[in-house]
Amino acid sequence: MNAIVVFDSLHGNTERIARAIGESLGPHGEVRVLRTTELPRAAAADFWIVGGPTHRHGMSQPLAAFIAALPGGSLRGVPVATFDTRYHYPRLMSGSAAHSAAGNLRRTGCRIATSPESFFVKQGARPATGEKPPYDGELLEDGELERARAWGEQLATLLAGQ
């Protein structure tokens, strides 16, 4: 399996989740974990995982711009999974970058491989003044990195069965 985990991250939480997913996929093949700004234009993979923080009920501007720049049909038939980081509210209240991303990615011809997944940040948690990302994880709810690794394992199993 050749996989790309591509993400946007503002405070480092989504990056930590993306790297945990990448770690769990690593034993199953080649995995690249890259920011949306680092992904080469001609990047290709057997499987894509796309994630970002939830902003204003949907995708962050950098993630939305990244997806909009993908040419229509460019991921035809490629399985894609999406994830986000957000507060632990019902999706109706908080929105979900993962659901928005999945909807917007459909125009690339990809196949959404599984339901979008959310990982949760602590409500009201803010990084220390002047602290630069990535943070030490105190902004993620307890157990979210482990849950991200488990989700990555589930994705690997799902892809092995296809």
pLDDT at 92: 63
- Residue 103's closest CA among 45, 152, 47, 64? 64
Please state, for a pLDDT cut of 70, what percent of the chain lies above it: 86
Q: Residue 157: is its pLDDT beyond 70?
A: yes
Residue 44 carries which side chain, given as an amino acid letter? A
pLDDT at 57: 77
Q: Residue 130: is its pLDDT beyond 70?
A: no
Measured distance CA(160)–CA(162) in Å, rounded = 6
CB-based contact 15:133 (threshold 8 Å): yes
Q: Could you list the beta-strand ranges (E) of the chain.
A: 2-7, 30-35, 47-55, 58-59, 79-87, 111-112, 117-121
Task: Write the CA distances from 55 to 41, 80, 86, 104, integer angstroms.
Answer: 25, 21, 8, 16
CB-based contact 46:3 (threshold 8 Å): yes
Q: Which two tokens stand for residue 134?
A: 């990535």
Measured distance CA(138)–CA(49) in Å, rounded = 24
Q: Which two tokens stand for residue 103?
A: 């909807």
DSSP letter (8 states) at residue 95: B
What confidence tier does 131 reach under pLDDT thresholds 50, 70, 90? low
> Which residue ranges make up each domain of the chain?
2-160
pLDDT at 161: 74
Average pLDDT, the chain: 88
Whole-angstrom Cα Rg for the chain: 15
Q: Residue 137: is its pLDDT beyond 50?
A: no
What homologous superfamily is domain 2-160 in, according to CATH?
Answer: Flavodoxin domain (3.40.50.360)
pTM (2 d.p.): 0.89
